[in-house]
Structure 1
Amino acid sequence: MGLLSIPYQSKSKLWIAIFLVVWSLISMHFIWQSQANSGLILKNELSSTSSIPHEFEMLIDTNYPKFKPTSGHSGSQTYSNLFKNQDRNAAIFTILKNFDLEQRCQLYFKNVKNDKLIVDPDHDFKFDRFDYLNWDEYRDESIKRLKGDNDEFVATSSDLDTIKKNFDKAKSRIASDLQLLHDYFSHIKIYNQCYIDRNTSFIKKQHELIDGLNWKTSFKRSSFLSGKQIVTEQQMYPWLSQKSPEYNCLATGQTTKFAANKNSFLNTLKNNLNGKGIVMTIADAHIDYCIRLIHLLRYLKNTLPIQIIYTSNDLSAESKSQLHQASVSDFDGLPQQNITLVNVTPAIKPQYLHKFNEFGNKILAILFNTFEEMIFIDADAILIENPEKFFQLTKYKNSGALFFRDRNTSEYRPDHDIEMFLKLMNSQYDEIIFGKISHVMESGLVLLNRKVHFSQPLIMANMNFFEPIRERVYGDKEMFWLSLSIIGDENYQFNSHPAAAIGQLTTYQERVKTFENPPSSFKSQEICANHPAHISDEDNHTLLWFNSGFQFCNQLEKVNYEDEFSHKERYSQFDTIDKFKTFWQSSLVIESAIIPPENTNSNGGDGYEPSVSWKHMEPYCAGYTWCAYSSIGNGDQANDRGLVINYSPEEIEHFKKLGEIWMRGYNYL
């Protein structure tokens, strides 16, 4: 699940400081003396060594802490151009003191190398983990590959020289690629700040910061500071066709489009956002799950509009008809649903559409729905309460972005992965000049205020384009929050609890079967389940939602019943394969939940208690079964103890009714 080992709170403050620095640096580009024909001439009237006193440097470093995640992190190449042959403190002071957002933006993009495309989605970044090995590991693995099956092979000095040259070449390419990736994301972040978000509040704060500092500098503004935007949306986002998606209301049959501003498709999209709604993305393969979710929403008396995002080749006319019938046909007299199908194919240039396959469809769903506030739901997600209640959760109201954590299992993250993500974060210059600043998340349900966090899917799209990033993340499980951190937006929150197991507590008799000399009792309790579930951190009790549908095993097409029935490590109460099969196909029974300990493993204990918070029961449900434990080891430490929740008869009955609704058969032809 890939947890980046960076303290969350300290990281949040750090990024906020960093992007404010970038604002100041762009202004500093005006200080650049006639370099690259920028037309800006800045002259210090004081001596070259003391034009800006040391006190100003201290002021900057105090308010915008320097960010150096790795020794090789030099920030955007644009800043290197901007500050070439300049007193950087003098430049920063001039920018902070004199330049508005528009001028800073022009200064920055005047120094961007422009080969028509500022960000190229097709740039061929190579990624091979072998190239990231240190020298000893690289050499040994290279010799092993040369040796092959020849046990008598001995590497010669010539072989070693070749290996060293390849090693140096790989490291040079990695450094070059990382720099270009950093520059790409800097351009995107600053473009969005300049021409989409247009947040200028930080400039007033900067003026207050240096109020009273009146070091004399003089500069001359050139003609390029005329208000003309010198970079276009097409250069930054060449994959956008600048055409509207097609919005088809199933109730009326009417299809609408919005008229995009010729200068900014994205601003038109942002300005048209309104209201609250539910967002999904599906293909024909998900139609059964989606229909069952619609039935569930009707039972929960949902009144929010629903937008289902798809691409032309993914959803057939038959599937569209079934969705319409599921939303309006009589269903126990329950409310009809207002569903709009959103075909995003026209909005993406054909040569880039393949880049949004699989998880990429979620990016398109986040970007092209028309809601100001949205709850994104996977088709196989199960909501327990009316979706309106999610918008009332305190953490969402405070931040406009709420995510849910995945199972708390231990995963190894190489140092070079962390270094790369840090490389994508904002530099001190980003923070000064432009005011910008490993969670493991479950992406089956996401709450987002899109006007507050409009840039998020644009960053996700670019993360998904490039292999060195795509291969280092677990799909959408990290991109949702990483995309916000990359733009310096730390105003998002996670539900505090990691995913829980829900179902029925495993009996003592079932647990002791694997012990020759079983204990008289267990300190820990166990639930084995196939559905990651999410408990509210507001009361540590309420089941909010869970994944993988309501059927006990949602992988029936992959199950080998004979093999799974034969294991007998769990589910031994079923004495025939038919009973076992019936249970696998039945509705999940929810009586309890276990949120495992924060610690993922423990060396303590007496040999009877679990040493891990989650145990993968690979033989069951085609590998989807995990058992959660309420404590690990002796359970003496607070972090070795989790939480057991036992639901009331009324709650259990509610869960049962939801299961009946979801499992009900239908016939929409």
Structure 2
Amino acid sequence: MVLSLIFKVRRSVGKKAKFAGSVALLLLLYLIYATSANISKAPSHTNKKETNMLYRMANSVSPFAFLDGNRETVLGGETLMKSLLSNRKFTNKERETLKDWPNAKKLDQCRYLVYSIYQQDANWSNEGMCTYHSNDELDDSLLALMGERLRIYDYCFITGKLNVKDVFNDYLTENNSITASDFQKRMFPFLRSDSEESNELFWPIVTNLKTGEVQPRPKVSVSPKEFNSQFWKYWKQSSHGKGIVLTMGERDVDMFKKQLRVLDHLGNKLPIQLVTAGSEYSPEFLKDLTDFLKTTNQEVYLVEASPILDPEFVSKYIVFFFHKWIAILLNTFEELVLIDADVVPFVPLKSFFKSEGYKTTGLLLFKDRNMKGEHTFTYCMESLKYMEPSRQETEYIQTNLLIDSTKELPSPTSSEEAAVYNHFFKDLRLHHVDSGLVTVNKNEKMNGLLMSFMLHLNGKIQRCVYGDKEFFWLGQLFAGQDYSIHPMDAGVAGGIDRSNPNSSPKEYFICSAQISHIDENQKLLWQNGGSNFCEVSNSATSDFEKDPSYFRGRYQSMESLKTLYDSPVKFDGVIIPDASANPWLQLKECSNYMYCAFNVEDHQNSKLDSGFMKRFDKGTMDELNKISEIWNQGLTAKI
């Protein structure tokens, strides 16, 4: 190797520079000898923990691969031979940062990390992973890069609390036309581009729907340019208070009105923000909602996030469930309860902020039905492994996930979070959490929420789960943050019936289109799906048309079916089935949204497990049925 390099140098020397070439040869031989003698004395950075070795290697286009390769070069000695073979030239500052990375200032580390992202791909953007390319290597690489970049962003700017402008005022970025605004837009492509001359603050239009008053933008201590280029930092600082947040389409307005009536009954004083990605509500819709609000005690604000969002990105990607990420990220509260319009609360929503899981972790989720027969795809698990940190990432920024594929889980699993992880990644079970009601400290969980949103936007991974549900915990997981999943399984509340009055043991069941959630004290907290027997619009007509023989045999006519569907839910009790012995039974009613849960009260001589059943006392029954009546009463009447 040394001789071939020398011959290359000799051939490059012109005839008129033979003497100079000879001197160069002597110097080269000396440098090779000197640096090779010092290689063995170079400090090593390969003392990695055993668990680190279980992670995958960073792929060739990863910023951590770039960083690791350069550090290897510096620690091995920058020989002239290496310099001749490489285009990379290290400044003294760069060499100092790379050599002593563990003890380097975070500012210097982050300057190099950002620089590494751009060096690996000058045209990088996380928007690339929003498209499904039908190429596993490409799709998985884009997914891995998105995860790494967001964790770098958190390490430096969210958890790390560095000032972005300090990172971009540096020798590494000045010569490469890298700016804070450019970096933010590539990292979060759903945010609006911010020009250097912009004087418009990234801030939503917040309107009190009852009074029509538009809330003034806050006074901030920095320029619009600085605020916008470090949006998440200043957005967190500007978010305050507790509230209720939701997003909905115009078709959901009747359910929202019912929900407001129930909140009146429960004495809710928390402000409510209805968040939209743009001006999608018609003037007629807003007038109708404003008129209705004057009959309630609720304070509802319309939060139009379009001044913050890229309109082209919104029109292309923000549809259906994706609006929930806009709502949870771009409301103005610090702590919030995110609810769907068809959620019926049975306790004041402020009580969820006192839940132990929320107080411990800052994010509380409830379980979905335990549907053991519905599964996701193997390729999803193979792809999601690329969201785990690489060996190099765990070494350079100490990323540590709550649970990952390198950790051996105890059997049975020791926590709800570990059990859900195991059921998803090992058993490929599809349904785990019900995102109809999520309690979150937005400021504490910001990076995990951003990770959730970006994961959902991924063109490949969004096919792996139903809607937005699982992304709430997957985002926190891959962001390296903790979260809490309520320990009680999902159940169903309503009227309790017996399968066969003469059977022994006695088997009971409840059939409902709703999913219900109770606390550890067996108190009904909330249910998803409204409080009519069937909340799906025009379901009686469509059901009869799809299978007339089935529905005529059971209900005689479409009119009688419609009467049943429109009737209020009547509460006798609640059942949480043991799905291993008594799986959920799905019926054709209510557009296939009807589910039955079973319980065997006396199961000593039965092969069926008892699961869990509670009959409500009269006082509880009266209160729950009162709320159900409120949900179903005329919307124009005052309570």
Separation of aligned partners in 1, 2:337 and 2:35: 53
Separation of aligned partners in 2, 1:311 and 1:223: 38
Pairing partner for 1:236 from 187, 193, 206: 187
Q: Give 2:634's aligned residue.
A: 665
Q: Give 1:337's aligned residue.
A: 298
User: What is the CA-CA distance between 1:397 and the residue it aligns to?
Assistant: 0.6
Q: Give 1:473's aligned residue.
A: 465
* Contact in 1 for aligned 2:335/2:441 (Cα 8 Å): yes
Summarize the alignment of residues 16-415 of structure 1 with structure 2, pairs less than 5 Å apart.
48-49=39-40, 51-52=42-43, 57=46, 60-61=48-49, 65-68=52-55, 74=59, 77-84=62-69, 86-87=71-72, 94-95=99-100, 97-113=102-118, 118-122=124-128, 125-126=131-132, 173-198=135-160, 223-224=171-172, 231=180, 232-241=183-192, 243-255=202-214, 256-258=216-218, 260=224, 261-329=227-295, 336-354=297-315, 355-410=317-372, 411-415=374-378
Separation of aligned partners in 1, 2:266 and 2:302: 21
* Contact in 1 for aligned 2:500/2:507 (Cα 8 Å): no
User: What is the CA-CA distance between 1:181 and the residue it aligns to?
Assistant: 1.9
Instruction: Tell me the alpha carbon deviations over residues 158-217 of structure 1, each in whole angstroms, 9 at most, x when there is no partner.
Output: xxxxxxxxxxxxxxx3123211221122112212331233269xxxxxxxxxxxxxxxxx
User: What is the CA-CA distance between 1:52 and the residue it aligns to?
Assistant: 4.6
Relative contact order, higher structure (CA 8 A, sep 6+): 1
Judged with a 3 Å threshold, the aligned counterparts in structure 2 of structure 1 residues 451 and 95 are, in CA distance, closer, same or farther, namely farther
Pairing partner for 1:462 from 450, 454, 460: 454
User: What is the CA-CA distance between 1:120 and the residue it aligns to?
Assistant: 3.8
Separation of aligned partners in 2, 1:266 and 1:124: 21
SS at 2:364's partner residue?
A: strand
Specify the code of the residue in structure 2 equivalent to 1:102: L
Separation of aligned partners in 2, 1:622 and 1:389: 33
User: What is the CA-CA distance between 1:346 and the residue it aligns to?
Assistant: 2.2
Structure 1, unpaired ranges of 5+: 1-42, 129-172, 201-221, 511-518, 603-611
* Count, aligned residues: 526
Judged with a 3 Å threshold, the aligned counterparts in structure 2 of structure 1 residues 274 and 313 are, in CA distance, closer, same or farther, namely closer
* Contact in 2 for aligned 1:274/1:371 (Cα 8 Å): yes
* Contact in 1 for aligned 2:266/2:348 (Cα 8 Å): yes
Specify the code of the residue in structure 2 equivalent to 1:181: L
User: What is the CA-CA distance between 1:523 and the residue it aligns to?
Assistant: 5.2
User: What is the CA-CA distance between 1:667 and the residue it aligns to?
Assistant: 3.3
Separation of aligned partners in 2, 1:282 and 1:568: 31
SS at 2:49's partner residue?
A: helix
Q: Give 2:486's aligned residue.
A: 495
SS at 1:121's partner residue?
A: helix
Separation of aligned partners in 1, 2:615 and 2:544: 33
* Contact in 1 for aligned 2:204/2:304 (Cα 8 Å): yes
Instruction: Tell me the alpha carbon deviations over residues 532-567 of structure 1, each in whole angstroms, 9 at most, x when there is no partner.
Output: 11111x32x011100111111112402247577964
Specify the code of the residue in structure 2 equivalent to 1:479: F
User: What is the CA-CA distance between 1:592 and the residue it aligns to?
Assistant: 1.1
Specify the code of the residue in structure 1 equivalent to 2:189: P
* Contact in 2 for aligned 1:110/1:230 (Cα 8 Å): no
Q: Give 2:445's aligned residue.
A: 453
* Contact in 1 for aligned 2:52/2:395 (Cα 8 Å): no
Separation of aligned partners in 2, 1:501 and 1:364: 30
Q: Give 1:13's aligned residue.
A: none
User: What is the CA-CA distance between 1:99 and the residue it aligns to?
Assistant: 1.0
Specify the code of the residue in structure 1 equivalent to 2:474: L
Separation of aligned partners in 2, 1:288 and 1:46: 79
Judged with a 3 Å threshold, the aligned counterparts in structure 2 of structure 1 residues 580 and 67 are, in CA distance, closer, same or farther, namely same
Judged with a 3 Å threshold, the aligned counterparts in structure 2 of structure 1 residues 117 and 237 are, in CA distance, closer, same or farther, namely farther
Specify the code of the residue in structure 1 equivalent to 2:111: Q
User: What is the CA-CA distance between 1:482 and the residue it aligns to?
Assistant: 0.8
SS at 1:319's partner residue?
A: helix
User: What is the CA-CA distance between 1:577 and the residue it aligns to?
Assistant: 6.5
Instruction: Tell me the alpha carbon deviations over residues 18-53 of structure 1, each in whole angstroms, 9 at most, x when there is no partner.
Output: xxxxxxxxxxxxxxxxxxxxxxxxx99995356457
Separation of aligned partners in 2, 1:87 and 1:636: 68
Q: Give 2:384's aligned residue.
A: 421
Judged with a 3 Å threshold, the aligned counterparts in structure 2 of structure 1 residues 184 and 313 are, in CA distance, closer, same or farther, namely same
Specify the code of the residue in structure 1 equivalent to 2:286: K
Separation of aligned partners in 1, 2:323 and 2:228: 25
Report which of the two structures shows the higher radius of gyration computed on alpha carbons: 2
Separation of aligned partners in 1, 2:130 and 2:557: 55
User: What is the CA-CA distance between 1:386 and the residue it aligns to?
Assistant: 0.8
Instruction: Tell me the alpha carbon deviations over residues 313-335 of structure 1, each in whole angstroms, 9 at most, x when there is no partner.
Output: 43122222233333332x5xxxx
Separation of aligned partners in 1, 2:488 and 2:359: 18
Specify the code of the residue in structure 2 equivalent to 1:415: T
SS at 2:257's partner residue?
A: helix
Separation of aligned partners in 1, 2:75 and 2:506: 65
RMSD, aligned CA: 3.6
Summarize the alignment of residues 461-610 of structure 1 with structure 2, pairs less than 5 Å apart.
461-489=453-481, 491-509=482-500, 520-522=503-505, 524-536=507-519, 538-539=520-521, 541-560=522-541, 567=550, 579-597=560-578, 600-602=579-581
TM-score, with length taken from structure 1: 0.71
User: What is the CA-CA distance between 1:525 and the residue it aligns to?
Assistant: 2.6
SS at 2:353's partner residue?
A: helix
SS at 2:240's partner residue?
A: coil
* Contact in 1 for aligned 2:275/2:331 (Cα 8 Å): yes
User: What is the CA-CA distance between 1:117 and the residue it aligns to?
Assistant: 5.0
* Contact in 1 for aligned 2:292/2:636 (Cα 8 Å): no
Separation of aligned partners in 2, 1:44 and 1:453: 48
Specify the code of the residue in structure 2 equivalent to 1:244: W
User: What is the CA-CA distance between 1:430 and the residue it aligns to?
Assistant: 2.7
Specify the code of the residue in structure 2 equivalent to 1:233: Q
User: What is the CA-CA distance between 1:108 and the residue it aligns to?
Assistant: 1.3
Separation of aligned partners in 2, 1:407 and 1:420: 25
Pairing partner for 2:586 from 607, 616, 622: 616
Separation of aligned partners in 1, 2:475 and 2:605: 38
Specify the code of the residue in structure 1 equivalent to 2:306: T
Structure 2, unpaired ranges of 5+: 1-33, 77-96, 163-169, 195-201, 401-423, 425-430
Q: Give 1:207's aligned residue.
A: none
Instruction: Tell me the alpha carbon deviations over residues 100-156 of structure 1, each in whole angstroms, 9 at most, x when there is no partner.
Output: 22111111122224656532415574355xxxxxxxxxxxxxxxxxxxxxxxxxxxx
Give aligned-pair identity as a percent: 24
Are 1:431 and 2:397 matched, yes or no? Answer: no
Judged with a 3 Å threshold, the aligned counterparts in structure 2 of structure 1 residues 523 and 98 are, in CA distance, closer, same or farther, namely same
Specify the code of the residue in structure 2 equivalent to 1:308: L
Separation of aligned partners in 2, 1:493 and 1:585: 36
* Contact in 2 for aligned 1:251/1:339 (Cα 8 Å): yes
Q: Give 2:12's aligned residue.
A: none
Judged with a 3 Å threshold, the aligned counterparts in structure 2 of structure 1 residues 665 and 124 are, in CA distance, closer, same or farther, namely closer
Q: Give 2:428's aligned residue.
A: none
Judged with a 3 Å threshold, the aligned counterparts in structure 2 of structure 1 residues 551 and 174 are, in CA distance, closer, same or farther, namely same
Separation of aligned partners in 2, 1:580 and 1:567: 12
User: What is the CA-CA distance between 1:661 and the residue it aligns to?
Assistant: 1.2
Separation of aligned partners in 2, 1:658 and 1:124: 42
User: What is the CA-CA distance between 1:376 and the residue it aligns to?
Assistant: 0.2
* Contact in 1 for aligned 2:456/2:468 (Cα 8 Å): no
Q: Give 2:612's aligned residue.
A: 643
SS at 1:376's partner residue?
A: strand
* Contact in 1 for aligned 2:508/2:601 (Cα 8 Å): no
Separation of aligned partners in 2, 1:45 and 1:632: 80
* Contact in 2 for aligned 1:281/1:365 (Cα 8 Å): yes
Separation of aligned partners in 2, 1:251 and 1:233: 36
